[in-house]
Amino acid sequence: MNQPPLILVVDDEENFREIFSIKLNSLGFRVETAEDGRQAIQKAKNLKPDLILMDVRMPVMDGIEAATKLKEDTTTKDIKVVFLTVLGESEADRQEIDKRLSKEIGAAGYIKKSDNLDVIIEQVKQFFPKQP
């Protein structure tokens, strides 16, 4: 029997991790969480998630450094990494920078963090065309 996809949510904001996990679980996804890039690397190696949703700016190890390390490791290089980020200065500049980083690091994409979880969820679901 096929298990639902496993998503690793990596964010230093506990409330975001909890609310996002509940929402994804309610849609049939399995969810694990990590609070920084270092934890994300360890969990990715152990769990082999189908997708990692990674905040860009976190303490200990940011999402860019963590994603780079994941892509350099043969055991985790094929895991899809999608950056979650808030936009800074000018929205257009921030999007361009983040999109470029996603391409250079080999991330599968980039989702703008917002207060509207439904918008984020719809974007996440696009990575799983045969799922809920």
* Structure confidence by residue, pLDDT tens digits, 53-62: 998 888 888 8
Could you tell me the two tokens for 131?
A: 């799922």
- Is the CB of residue 63 less than 8 Å from the CB of residue 39? no
The label of the residue with tokens 């996990």 reads 21
- Apex CA 22: angle with CA 59 and CA 84, to 5°? 40
Instruction: Looking at the structure, give the CATH architecture of the domain made up of residues 6-125.
Output: 3-Layer(aba) Sandwich (3.40)
Q: Are 110 and 81 in contact (CB under 8 A)?
A: no
Rounded to two decimals, the pTM is 0.85
pLDDT of 109-125, one tens digit each? 777 776 677 888 888 88
According to DSSP, the β-strands at 30-34 and 6-10 are parallel
